[in-house]
Structure 1
Amino acid sequence: VLDGYEAIRRLRADPLHQRLPVLAVTADATEDDRRMCLEAGATDFLTKPVDPRQLAGRIASLTRGA
């Protein structure tokens, strides 16, 4: 069993996935949670409940030029 932080770390440890955009989506909304996600290697961060328009915008931004 691994948490989201470890999943992101493992993705980033693999050279094939180091540049893969990772959007962390979590119910935990503290600044500490945000910091931990970004330090683990997440590209961006959203809190639940997610606004579909905001999610679509973030995905578009993360995949632009991909």
Structure 2
Amino acid sequence: MAELDIADCINELCPWPGDPVAADSLTTYNGHVVGFCNPGCRDKFDAAVERFNELLTSQ
């Protein structure tokens, strides 16, 4: 996976606690770079997206 750049991030604040996003806490969603305040918040988001995708494909 290519390294993500915080300059490409579509949000400035983490959607969980509302803290500023960090360069080490980026992921992609629907082709966009999304930022989180720490890797834990990013991983929580990635796990939720993965679970929802599993549910959608199992129907």
Higher relative contact order (CA 8 A, sep 6+): 1
TM-score, length-normalised on structure 2? 0.35
Q: Which has the higher helix share?
A: 1
